[in-house]
Amino acid sequence: MQPRPNHGLRPVFCTIVPPHLLDKLSQADDPVLAAPARRTLEADGARRHQRQVTALAFAPHPPRTADAVPTKPRRTLYDCRHGTDLPGHKVRAEGDEPTQDASVNRAYAGLGATFDLLLSEYGRSSIDGKGLPLIGSVHYDEKYNNAFFDGEQMVFGDGDGEIFLDFTLAIDVIAHELTHGLTQYTANLAYQGQSGALNESVSDVFGSLVKQYSLGHSAEQADWLIGADILAPRVSGDALRSMKAPGTAYDDDVLGKDPQPASMDDYVETRDDNGGVHINSGIPNRAFYLLATALGGNAWERAGQIWFDVLTGGELTQRAGFAAFARLTVAAARSRFGEGDEAEAVLKAWSEVGVATR
Ligand SMILES: [Zn+2]
């Protein structure tokens, strides 16, 4: 099975903080909270539009020969110095000593940890499988309440310091964004409706797996939260999302309540957020959590391998829904592990969240 090339397809502009959350924040009575959120929303909206206009100019990087596939990351970090020109000023290249700037060093380490997991566990060199250099920019804009992958590079804001902290503080956020690149180079799931929610969920899955891998946490030890380290102390909540218990990540007087459903019974039909891509992703997220904890041990080994096989296997279509994805995970479990506990646990996980597998 060969992964499909994605010639001519539009890269996704994906932010870690969804528009519905920033929208809520921008309506806060306190201008200290509302102003940065409004600014971030406007900047994201403009950039989303810009991506659409320049979409046709996007072309995949030329393939390299197989014997030249690198086994070491090639990272370059830039500092935007609170401006919005990308990539900004070059501050750290691969192999350079750490800088005085902790944001630069954290982004460098997070990109490295993601590269390591992909290569050592799944045999993939970088997000394109050909050692693609990884580019990150920190200190983007002022009080920018987001981090994003724009199809070519990662960008991190410093947060407003009131609700959101420096986005490089969370390794799962870094890995989440980079996984959008992995998806772009493989299944290229369309960023709308269920396929969009799968795109988001896959980023949460590998975001969490990179965090677990770097901490040496088993499925039982993991917190199964996304973005726990970027919420300021004043927020009533644990994280942006919970894979273990979608809908319980936060319940805050400014941010409102986490809107994620935990099963198909509570699936949210909406036109916002590209049809709820950051909302309904709670359903496949919980299926992965249920599988990983049922199997036990390190989640990146068997559960992560099954998800990776589906994402990169070439059979997942760009507009796949939850049921199609679920069926492929059952097939991937059988083809890699036979008719054993793994396939049985995959079936049970999807059934618990109400997604049919046959
Ligand atoms: Zn995302």
Calculate how far, in angstroms, residue 15's C-alpha sits from the geometric centre of ligand 1. 6
Are 242 and 137 in a shared domain? no
CATH number of the domain residue 106 falls in? 3.10.170.10
Q: What is the pLDDT of residue 2?
A: 41
Q: Does residue 198 contact residue 189 with C-beta atoms inside 8 Å?
A: yes
DSSP structure string for 101-165: -HHHHHHHHHHHHHHHHHHHHH---STTSS---EEEEES-SSS---EEE-SS-EEE----SSSB-
Residue pointed to by tokens 């870690």: 16
pLDDT for res 358: 81
Model pLDDT for residues 117-132, shown as the tens digit of each residue: 999 999 999 999 999 9
Is 264 part of any domain? yes
- Ligand 1 centre and the CA of 305: distance in Å? 20
Walking along the chain (358 residues) 10 residues at a time, the average pLDDT comes out as: 43 82 92 92 82 43 60 97 96 98 98 98 96 97 95 95 97 96 95 97 98 98 98 97 98 96 98 95 98 98 98 97 98 96 97 94
Cis peptide before 87 (omega within 30 of 0): yes
Indicate whether 235 belongs to any domain. Answer: yes
Is residue 123 domain-shared with residue 257, that is, in the same domain?
no
Ligand 1 mean position, distance from CA 30 (Å): 28
312 with 181: CB under 8 angstroms?
no
The pLDDT score that the predictor gives to residue 214 is 97
Do residues 98 and 116 share a domain?
yes
For residue 4, what pLDDT is reported?
43
Where a domain ends, among 184, 201, 229? 184
* Residue 212 sits in the same domain as residue 178: no
Statement to judge: residues 55 and 28 lie in one domain? yes
The residues, any chain, with a CB within 8 Å of residue 344's CB and separated by 6 or more, are none
184, 215, 236 — which closes off a domain?
A: 184
The per-residue pLDDT for 65 is 53
231 and 105: one domain?
no
- Which tokens belong to 125? 């060199």
User: Is residue 132 domain-shared with residue 240, that is, in the same domain?
Assistant: no
Instruction: Tell me the CA–centroid distance for residue 339 and ligand 1, in Å.
Output: 33
Are residues 303 and 241 part of one domain?
A: yes
- Domain boundary pick from 151, 184, 217: 184
Same domain membership, residue 328 and residue 212: yes
Structural domain of 126: 14-184
* CB of 343 closer than 8 Å to CB of 358: no
Total domains in the chain come to: 2
* Per-residue tokens: 173: 């956020």
Going from the C-alpha of 356 to that of each of 285, 308, 337, 351, 353, the distances in angstroms are: 16, 21, 21, 6, 9
Ligand 1 centre distance from Cα of residue 66 (Å): 30
**Distance from Cα 152 to the centre of ligand 1, integer Å:** 14
The reply to whether 204 and 289 lie within a common domain is: yes
Annotated active-site positions, please?
A: 177, 278
> Is 44 within a domain?
yes
**219: amino acid identity, one letter:** A
Distance from residue 65's CA to the centre of ligand 1 (Å): 31
In the chain, count H helices and then E strands.
10, 10
CA 294 to chain centre: 23
Q: Based on the domain organization, do 42 and 154 belong to the same domain?
A: yes
Shared-domain flag, residues 164 and 83? yes
